[in-house]
Structure 1
Amino acid sequence: MAHKIRFLMAFMFLIIPTAASLAVAQANRPFYEGKTIRLIVQTGTGTTSDIAARVVAPHWTRHIPGNPNIVVQNMAGAGGIVAANYLYNIAKPDGLTIATMGRANYLDQMVAKPEVKFDFRRFSWIGSFNRSPMMIACRTDSGYTTIESMRAAKSLPRFADGATGSIGFVFSELVAAALNLKFKQILGFVGGGRALDLAIERGEADCRATSDITVIRPPWPGWVGKRFVSFVVQQGPKKSRLLPEEVPTVYGVAPPEAKPVLTLLDIMLAYTEFDRPYAAPPGVAAEQLQILRESFEKMLHDPKFSADAKKIVDWDGSYLSGAQLQKKIEQTVTQPPEILKRVKEILE
């Protein structure tokens, strides 16, 4: 009996340190080791958002302690609202589901669209990269090559766009209001940017409002080379590196009385400062959110990622950290009733 007791005591002395060692090892194990992160994309396959997310995934995992597997899943619908609703209401706040967000979906919230089931401010924002300011370009042979020529013209410049709620429509209408211009909106073009380009080519419209990144994508390089189009005005206040230096900004040429319109411009085009935003559900633990934010920012400073991102969106290195993005969205979405009313009037 004494022999058995001595044997059991010896066995316990052996397993207790082993169990303690395992517990310490488990505690020191990175949270994301052996786990899979699901990265939801708010658009279908083949879009710039989708391509960018698939470039981000392998670079990002290298900077997350534990190197989790990141799986991309497309969840298109309602201009990004479907994915945002899912992330806000269904996805678990366990740090294992993140999403690339529709950058302008905060406007859907501000105008109280019934399908919106989220508060953009409450997402756990991880960070964003790239800026994408707006500009207006017109066919050179239309004669609308400057703000002055638009103002002096006998007929109104015709702008091609899809619908009144589009960002191109919003920008052109705000520019018209700020600079005391009048435009004729030709709406109903279906098929995105290419459909609008074709409208310009065919002479169905004279002008188009779009983001500056458009100029690096076909057919724009050829258009610019042949002087088929002229750049009339750009968003600002900071000038785009992709446009000629002499192209004026709305802020630079707007009269003092246009200040209320410029305030609306700041709000409604705030998304141009966060072109590729990433978020997790509300309520993610602070430790996990910090890991995601820090690893995302480390990725943005990785030369290998920078090279790939430049190929997709001609990235200039601009980005917002998670904290900066959270603050920007909070300031943008939180507005007094009179501003919300004006935003709704413009978008409707």
Structure 2
Amino acid sequence: MRVGFRPMRLFGCTMFDLRALCLCLGLSLVCAALAPNHATAQSLEEFFAGNVVEIYIGFAPGGGYDLYGRLAARHLGKHIPGNPTVVPINMESAGSLRLMNWLHSAAPKDGTAIGMVNRGTPFAWLLGEREFALFDPRDYTWLGSVNDDVSVCVSWNRSGIKTLEDMRRKEFIVGSTGPGADEYIFPKVLQGVLGARIRNVAGYSGGNNINYAMERGEVDGRCGWTWSSVISTKPNWIANNDINVIMQFSLRKHPDLPDVPRMLEFAETEEEFQILRLINLRGPFGRPFLIPPGIPEERAVALREAFEAMLRDPQFLADAERAHMEIMPVTARELEDLLDEAYAAPEHIVERARELIN
């Protein structure tokens, strides 16, 4: 009796023909490679249109950083492919150090999370308490800054403090959010390098709360308050002469303050100058925006290009002008160069600066 036998078939080819099998397998693989993968082949427009982009602001509502973050949230979406909705979210704590750590370790790495941090936070690992700064700022993708900020040291009029010499003679109580923030850093430098008698009260959730503390008499002033924030949030204090502007913390003088000295001008030695310059490198970071490490390159590029386009947008600029918000953009590349300069500083200068700050 003849036994029936059906040859095994694989991908439609019989095992009796090895050459046909190889050809069939090859064509199958080619077809699979050429077939569109609808699960992964998603354009930038499709991705962003189907998601909400969130701008996380490292401070409480109402202060200068919050105002700039919300301004960006109103205008950025129309420059991102797909025109997604952009929502501002406050994540205050520790001078935005919490936000910087979160962006590095826990934030979505898909382009839907943008951070706006204190301009000093990128220097927290270099100059701050390293156990709390769980990141290298050079790992992030920087989008740029909306402003090259000049910070100032101001006192409430009733304090009787108007000059550095006054600060050397009389205790000056200032408020701050916490480590990494300008209001925390600059008073320590004034005390350690220039001999000011400053007592720093840390723990306020944002600049707005420090301002309330000044009005109530809890503190005498703020040292490290950006001038752009002063003029946008408290123009009446300037008009009414409620505050004295004692000093500028910056690499350049602000055009509004030609007669107010910069901290750098008080350096008496080359080492002091290098220390003060290192600490003042944070100035051009102003109001910096960044995205977490590990985001797909094309999305990171799209977000950076959208941010740059927003800064040229006439509607964005008009909105900022109406709110008395200063716009002096700094590119992502310029921020990266400043970080490279800071992290290449001589070790003894870094150590001395760190000792002063901590």
* CA 1:281–1:221: 2 relative to 1, 3 Å: closer
* CA 1:285–1:135: 2 relative to 1, 3 Å: same
2:330 corresponds to which of 312, 320, 344: 320
User: Does structure 1 residue 240 correspond to structure 2 residue 251?
Assistant: no
Counterpart in the other structure of 1:265: 276
Q: Report how far residue 96 of structure 1 moved.
A: 3.3
**Are 2:228 and 2:326, in contact at CA under 8 Å, matched by a contact in 1?**
no
| DSSP 3-state at the match of 1:319 | coil
1:94 corresponds to which of 110, 118, 128: 110
Counterpart in the other structure of 2:146: 129
Structure (1 or 2) with the larger CA radius of gyration: 2
Once the two structures are superposed, residues 287-336 of structure 1 have per-residue CA deviations (whole angstroms, 9 ceiling, x without a partner) of: 22222111110110001111223455x33331122222222223324444
1:146-225 to 2 correspondences below 5 Å = 146-147=163-164, 155-162=169-176, 165=179, 167-175=182-190, 180-185=194-199, 187=201, 190=204, 192-193=206-207, 196-197=210-211, 207-209=221-223, 210-216=225-231, 220-225=234-239
CA distance in 2 between counterparts of 1:124 and 1:261 reads 32
CA distance in 2 between counterparts of 1:222 and 1:78 reads 29
AA partner of residue 284 (structure 1): I
| Identical aligned residues as a percent | 26
AA partner of residue 183 (structure 1): R
| DSSP 3-state at the match of 2:49 | coil
AA partner of residue 246 (structure 1): D
AA partner of residue 254 (structure 1): F
Counterpart in the other structure of 2:300: 289
**Are 1:106 and 1:333, in contact at CA under 8 Å, matched by a contact in 2?**
no
CA distance in 1 between counterparts of 2:60 and 2:205 reads 15
* CA 1:20–1:76: 2 relative to 1, 3 Å: same
CA distance in 2 between counterparts of 1:65 and 1:163 reads 36
* CA 1:315–1:270: 2 relative to 1, 3 Å: farther
AA partner of residue 323 (structure 1): R
Q: Report how far residue 127 of structure 1 moved.
A: 1.5
| DSSP 3-state at the match of 1:99 | strand
Q: Report how far residue 73 of structure 1 moved.
A: 4.0
* CA 1:301–1:229: 2 relative to 1, 3 Å: same
Counterpart in the other structure of 2:76: 60
Q: Report how far residue 123 of structure 1 moved.
A: 0.5
1:44-55 to 2 correspondences below 5 Å = 46-48=61-63, 49-55=65-71
**Are 1:38 and 1:73, in contact at CA under 8 Å, matched by a contact in 2?**
no
CA distance in 2 between counterparts of 1:201 and 1:95 reads 41
Counterpart in the other structure of 1:16: none
CA distance in 2 between counterparts of 1:175 and 1:250 reads 8
CA distance in 2 between counterparts of 1:67 and 1:231 reads 42
* CA 1:108–1:237: 2 relative to 1, 3 Å: closer
**Are 1:32 and 1:67, in contact at CA under 8 Å, matched by a contact in 2?**
no
1:323-338 to 2 correspondences below 5 Å = 323-338=333-348
**Are 2:119 and 2:282, in contact at CA under 8 Å, matched by a contact in 1?**
yes
User: Does structure 1 residue 36 correspond to structure 2 residue 35?
Assistant: no
User: Does structure 1 residue 254 correspond to structure 2 residue 270?
Assistant: no
**Are 2:79 and 2:310, in contact at CA under 8 Å, matched by a contact in 1?**
yes
* CA 1:119–1:37: 2 relative to 1, 3 Å: farther
Q: Report how far residue 50 of structure 1 moved.
A: 4.0
Counterpart in the other structure of 1:276: 287
CA distance in 2 between counterparts of 1:140 and 1:79 reads 26
CA distance in 2 between counterparts of 1:204 and 1:273 reads 30
CA distance in 2 between counterparts of 1:195 and 1:33 reads 36
* CA 1:324–1:135: 2 relative to 1, 3 Å: same
Counterpart in the other structure of 2:85: 69
Once the two structures are superposed, residues 122-143 of structure 1 have per-residue CA deviations (whole angstroms, 9 ceiling, x without a partner) of: 0111122113322223355665
Counterpart in the other structure of 1:230: 244
Counterpart in the other structure of 2:24: none
User: Does structure 1 residue 342 correspond to structure 2 residue 352?
Assistant: yes
| DSSP 3-state at the match of 2:196 | coil
| Structure 2: runs of 5+ lacking an equivalent | 1-33
Structure 1-normalised TM-score? 0.74
Once the two structures are superposed, residues 98-126 of structure 1 have per-residue CA deviations (whole angstroms, 9 ceiling, x without a partner) of: 32234322233223432432211101111
User: Does structure 1 residue 299 correspond to structure 2 residue 299?
Assistant: no
**Are 1:293 and 1:321, in contact at CA under 8 Å, matched by a contact in 2?**
no
| DSSP 3-state at the match of 1:320 | coil
Counterpart in the other structure of 1:8: none
Q: Report how far residue 246 of structure 1 moved.
A: 1.7
CA distance in 2 between counterparts of 1:311 and 1:248 reads 29
AA partner of residue 352 (structure 2): R
Once the two structures are superposed, residues 255-291 of structure 1 have per-residue CA deviations (whole angstroms, 9 ceiling, x without a partner) of: 551x323322333333331222222221333322222
User: Does structure 1 residue 120 correspond to structure 2 residue 132?
Assistant: no
* CA 1:145–1:303: 2 relative to 1, 3 Å: same
